[in-house]
Amino acid sequence: MDATSKIFANRLRKTMTDAERMLWQHLRARQLGVKFRRQHPFQGYILDFVCLERGLVIEVDGSQHVDAAVRDAIRTDVLESAGFRVVRFWNNEVLTQTDSVVECIARELNPSPSCPSP
Boundaries of every domain in the chain: 3-109
Render pLDDT for 6-45 as a digit per residue (tens, 0 to 9).
Answer: 775 677 777 799 999 999 999 999 999 999 999 999 999 9
Distance CA 79, CA 81 (A): 5
What pLDDT is attached to residue 26? 97
Nearest to 2 by CA among 41, 52, 46: 41
**Hey, which CATH number is domain 3-109, 3.40.960.10, 3.40.50.800, 3.40.50.2020, 3.10.310.30?**
3.40.960.10
Q: What is the pTM of this model?
A: 0.85
C-alpha pair distances (Å), 9 with each of 14, 31, 35: 9, 23, 18
Measure the CA–CA gap between 28 and 32, rounded to whole angstroms.
Answer: 8
